[in-house]
Structure 1
Amino acid sequence: MNNDQLAMEVISQYRISEPVLEFIRHNENLTYKVTDKADGTCFLLRIHTPVTAGLSGIQHTWKGLQSEVTLLQELHRNSVLQVQIPVANQSGEYVTLTKIVEGTVCYSTLLTWIEGPILTAEDSDNKDIAYLLGEQLALLHQFTRTLTDTEHFERPTYGAEKIDFTMNELIYGVENEVFSREPYEVIVQVCAVVKDQLHLLDTQKDSWGLIHSDIQLNNVVLNNGIPCFIDYCLSGFGYYLFDIGSATTVLKSGVRNSFLEGYASKAAFTADSLRIVEGLIIMDVLLCYTFFIRDLERGSWIKEHAVKACERIWKPYLEGKEVYYSF
């Protein structure tokens, strides 16, 4: 069956009277907007089959998805942030299993729909939105710091071991001429510096916990003017500063101070942490490389990006220069 047929097969397992499906995109998940013509209610259907193998991970497993569902339910139950609420299927389950062909199954989840436009490039230069984005991120972090029963969660981790994985994976880029040996050698030097910073961060209280980890334009919806985070698919255990770095790259450099001020208004943050944030931004970018490094069609952008980043970001970073506003 094709993707649209699969989506209809999945949605038939939910109590939706007259579903109309609208394809959104296929990245780490295959996603559709679902509208029930009977009452106009909208949902987000996520079929957890990544478009490329590099995007696959523990987040796509049954236990990984159950953990994400629990996080979203807790955020909703405690009224911390507006989030997409998991919807149970006709069997009362929040993760739906569908047989594709004999011996092959896929998992799917259905979430409520948050109305509003996604964050745009124009919005990313707005100081008020940047401040609110910082506030919302701080509220997320403040809440996840209070979660106590997360040891059973099976989610991705974004610690020092991820840097080792990244360096090993990016060797493929050199061997297959995605980029030359020179940028890779710079990557190795940068990663060594970042690892040292993370070991220092490990000694600081409340630096690690559940984070969103994938804050980008498409994953922020403006609902009544308030930025709302969506797509917690890659959420997992990591440094809170990683999220600050991720959100930073969404915003134009001129409004990043407003974002940091918004964050600091709800959670602890000082400018002394910026050097570590810079390293985590680089880590985030390199992780993105690993998602697509083995997919020559979808990863064709990496070669040019690595050359530019090497000169504009990585080398100045190694020289100790501030690069926070250069990304």
Structure 2
Amino acid sequence: MDYTKCFKEVILKYSFIDPIVEFIRHNENITYKVTEKGSEDTYLLRMHKPITKNMQGVQNMREAIQSELEYLLAWSSHSELPVQIPVPNLSGELVTSVVIECEEVYCSVLKWIFGETMSKRDFTSEEMVSTLGKHIAYLHQFSQSFKYGSSFIRPEYEIAWVNNMLTKLRSGEKMGIIATEEFQILENAFSLVTDRMKGLSKSFETWGFIHADIHYSNLIRTSRGISFIDFGLSGFGYYASDVAMGALFTKYELRDDLLSGYTNIISGKIDIAQLEDLMFLNISEYYAFLVSRKEKHMWIREHIPCQIELCKSLLKGKTVSYNINQVGLTN
């Protein structure tokens, strides 16, 4: 598909006058930075077309993109920090559709958040890690009050998501990236975690709309504080899953500070055993994502033994994820 032709057609559907367009990357979306010449008006243009079919999902449906943008609009009116506010096209619609080479591609435009993309070096102090915990809690507080209708569609991070992840990892075994004996251990660990997930309740306090991709590259340090960006994978899941993601790129010595910051805003005890399971699933999802990227196969082969050791600990009933740094993810 000629994506250059595609984004030029998309640009014409918005009120840009003399835009300067810079390609950013092609991952779960194709993204461009759009700046109005002679002004500071800057935007993020997203073409909702993942780089591999392995990444295709509910989030690529028109209704799901519309739902994400509705959430961002609502969040922007409540948040004290900058939010990627959706920009309507010339027809007043938040989702733009173009047809290129007989394929329909959905696109959206968000206002650019100015600031510095954060890195793991930013999360080495108790204060910063605690602040991150508080911001995750503020997001969840809003999610608990957010009202959505029957047309609101987003991915759901439950049993079907776990099974899909395992299917992707199984394809890694078929390609020889993951050894058969390693996959069997992975499969046993998944079975254990899945059984435990079936026993979890989906209450107002535990289940709702989550970011689902909290990582320092999706955090922007602005003049007003830390802002979340990239809600492209957002959906319904356990609130603890976002906390688990935050814990993965936080040094293990500071994870109690992350939890303390979170529970200072949303009271209640966080179950470390559940957090461990969710951390395991989030790490596994990263491996499952990389399976479709041929250039990452060597990395998987090099690092999968660490994940297998984690599986063995889980199967023995040990809690280790919370007390170690994840190789390749935080180091």
TM-score normalized with structure 1 length: 0.93
Q: Is the 8 A contact 2:144 2:204 kept in 1?
A: no
* Conserved? CA contact 1:95–1:107, under 8 Å: yes
Deviates more, 1:199-208 or 1:262-271: 199-208
The corresponding residue for 1:129 is 128
Aligned counterpart, 1:13 = 13
Per-residue deviation, 1:154: 1.4
Contact 1:215 1:250 in 2 (8 A): no
Counterpart residue number, 1:310 = 308
CA–CA separation in structure 2 for the residues paired with 1:300 and 1:3: 29
Alignment of 1:127-166 (within 5 A): 127-166=126-165
Q: Which amino acid aligns with 1:112?
A: K
Q: Work out whether 1:45 is the aligned partner of 2:48.
A: no
Take 1:252 and 1:9, find their aligned partners in 2: how far apart are those partners?
45
User: Counterpart in 1 of 2:176?
Assistant: 177
**Cα drift, residue 54 of structure 1:** 1.2
What are the equivalent positions in structure 2 for 1:28-67 lying under 5 Å apart? 28-67=28-67
177-186 or 298-307: bigger deviation: 298-307
Residue in 1 that maps onto 2:85: 85
- Residues paired across the two proteins, number: 324
Displacement of 1:189: 1.9
Secondary structure at the counterpart of residue 209 of structure 2: strand
| Contact 1:52-1:292 at 8 Å conserved across structures | no
> 1:247 Cα shift?
1.4
Contact 1:125/1:254 (<8 A) preserved: no
Determine the C-alpha separation between the residues in 2 that align with 1:79 and 1:195: 35
CA contact under 8 A between 1:43 and 1:111: conserved in structure 2? yes
Tell me if the contact between 1:43 and 1:112 (Cα under 8 Å) persists in the aligned partners. Answer: yes
User: C-alpha distance in 2, partners of 1:309/1:291?
Assistant: 15
Partner deviation per Cα, 1:95-134 (whole Å, 9 max, x = no partner): 1111212x21211110011111111121022322211111
Superimposed CA distance per residue, residues 264-286 of structure 1 (whole angstroms, 9 cap, x where no aligned partner): 11113425x11111111111122
More displaced stretch, 234-243 vs 184-193: 184-193
1:201 is paired with a residue of what secondary structure? Answer: coil
- Give deviations 1:127-176, integer Å, cap 9, x for gaps: 22211111111011111112232443211110022222222332212222
Two-structure CA RMSD over aligned residues (Å):
1.9
Check if 1:188 corresponds to 2:177. no
Give the 3-state SS of the residue equivalent to 1:288 in structure 2. Answer: helix
Q: Which runs of 5+ in 2 are unaligned?
A: 327-331
Q: Counterparts of 1:111 and 1:270 in 2: how far apart (Å)?
A: 36
Which deviates further from its counterpart, 84-93 or 187-196? Answer: 187-196
Question: Amino acid of the residue matched to residue 116 of structure 1?
Answer: G
- Residue 80 of structure 1: how far off its partner (Å): 6.0
The aligned amino acid for 2:52 is T
Provide the secondary structure at the position in 2 that maps to 1:231: coil
Which residue of structure 2 aligns with residue 220 of structure 1? Answer: 219
Q: C-alpha offsets along residues 33-54 of structure 1, whole Å, 9 cap, x if unaligned?
A: 1111132211111111111111
Q: SS at the partner of 2:295?
A: coil
CA contact (8 A) 1:54 1:292 kept: no
Where does residue 249 of structure 1 map in the other structure?
248
Tell me, in whole angstroms, the C-alpha distance in 2 between the residues paired with 1:54 and 1:317: 27
Q: Which residue of 2 aligns with 1:301?
A: 299
CA distance in 2, matches of 1:16, 1:113: 14
**Does the CA contact (< 8 Å) of 1:209 and 1:240 recur in 2?**
yes
1:301 alignment partner, SS class: helix
SS in 2 for 1:44: strand
- Describe the shift of the 1:256–1:116 C-alpha distance in structure 2 as closer, same or farther (beyond 3 A): same
Report the Cα distance in structure 2 between the residues aligned to 1:111 and 1:206, rounded to whole angstroms.
Answer: 30
**Separation of aligned partners in 1, 2:80 and 2:231:** 15
Tell me: CA distance 1:299–1:70, structure 2 relative to 1, closer, same or farther (3 Å). Answer: farther
Q: CA 1:168/1:228 → structure 2, altered by over 3 Å: closer, same or farther?
A: same
**Deviations, residues 60-81 of structure 1 (Å, cap 9, x unaligned):** 1111101101110111123365
- Is the Cα–Cα contact under 8 Å of residues 63 and 151 in structure 2 kept in the other structure? no
Amino acid at match of 1:22: E
148-157 or 221-230: which moved more? Answer: 148-157
